[in-house]
Amino acid sequence: MSNSDALDIGKVSKESGLPASTLRYYEEKGLIKSNGRNGLRRLFPVNVLQRLALISLGRTAGLSLDEIGSMFTPQGPEINRELLISKADELDIKIKELTAMRDGLRHAAACQAPSHFECPTFLKLLRVAKKLKKSGQALEKKS
């Protein structure tokens, strides 16, 4: 690969929107690979931007870096369909919980009960909030 076929870390950072420190971390984790240097600046193949887009998509979907890394092979990405289905199922649950939270907040804002603690809908909102907190803590432990 010639230097004209490569992007330096600054260009990759600018194009991907990721700080150089994140790119170095991803390289340390084996998610991306530089192919040399131009002085002190790492050089990456042009296709690193596609790989970074996949990593970003995976992170947005709630995948850990290890889960994403397990899908990269020397031949290219090998999508773990079972893992994606599992994540989609988790998102369905989260969407339902967040929808209930949104609806509860709208109700609480308009509720005419003398006290919100007398309102069954508000009390349900509190239960949903507790459930969301627990599921959020479980997801943090996975990542």
**What domain range includes position 28?**
3-77
Q: Looking at the predicted structure, is the pLDDT value of residue 140 above 60?
A: no
- Which tens digits make up the pLDDT trace of 50-101? 999 999 999 999 999 999 999 988 888 898 999 999 999 999 998 988 888 8
- Distances in Å between the Cα of 32 and the Cα atoms of 29, 36, 38, 132, 141 are 8, 13, 17, 34, 24
Same domain, 134 and 91: yes
Q: What is the pLDDT of residue 44?
A: 95
CB-based contacts of 79: which residues, under 8 Å, 6+ apart?
71
Residue pair 23/33 in contact by the 8 Å Cβ criterion = no
Using one digit for the tens of pLDDT, what is the confidence trace for 22-61? 999 999 999 999 988 888 788 999 999 999 999 999 999 9
Cα–Cα distance measured from residue 104 to residue 111, given in angstroms and rounded to the nearest whole number: 10
CATH for 70: 1.10.1660.10
Question: Looking at residue 48, what is its pLDDT?
Answer: 94
Q: How many domains is the chain built from?
A: 2
65 shares its domain with 14: yes
C-alpha 17/C-alpha 34 separation (Å) is 17
- Residue where the block lists tokens 């340390």: 28
State both tokens at 88: 């989609």
Same-domain status, 41 and 94: no
